Amino acid sequence: MESTSDTSAQLNPNSRTPLPFPIRFIATGFFAGYSPIIPGTAGSLVGLALYLIPGMENSLILGIVSIIGFILGGIVSAQMEQHF
User: pLDDT digit of tens for each residue in the chain (84 aa)?
Assistant: 444 444 444 445 545 688 899 999 999 899 998 999 998 999 999 999 998 999 998 999 999 999 999 999 999 999 999 988
Instruction: Report pLDDT for 7.
Output: 44
Q: Count CB neighbours of 29 within 10 A.
A: 19
Residue 1, CB half-sphere, CA atoms under 13 Å: how many?
2
